[in-house]
Amino acid sequence: MIAGIRHSRAPKMIFKHNDLVDLEAKLASLPLEQPKIIAFESVYSMCGSISPIEKICDLAEKYGAITFLDEVHAVGMYGQRGAGVAEHLDWGRSVDKRSVMDRVDIITGTLGKAYGNVGGYIAGSRNLVDTVRSLAPGFIFTTSLPPHVMAGATAAVEYQKQTLSDRIAQQLAVRKTKQLLSELDIPVVPGPSHIVPVLIGNAALAKTVSDKLLHDEGVYVQAINYPTVAVGEERLRFTPTPGHTDELIAQLGESMKRVWRELDVPTVSEWAALGGRAGVGVVDAKVVEPIWTDKQLGLCKSGVRMKTGGDIGIGVEHATRAVLLEGRA
Residues linked to residue 314 through DSSP beta bridges, in sequence order:
287
Q: What is the DSSP string of 291-322?
A: SS-TTTTT-EETTEEPPSS----BS-----EE
Q: Which amino acid is at 210?
A: S
The Cα–Cα gap between 227 and 320 comes to 11
Cα dihedral 42, 43, 44, 48 sign: positive
For residue 307, indicate whether it is catalytic. no
Lay out the sheet containing 12-16: strands in order across: 12-16, 321-326, 36-41, 66-70, 106-110, 120-124
The Cα–Cα gap between 110 and 40 comes to 15
Cβ proximity of 53 and 59 under 8 Å: no
Annotated catalytic residue, options 12, 113, 207, 257: 113
List, by residue number, the catalytic residues. 113
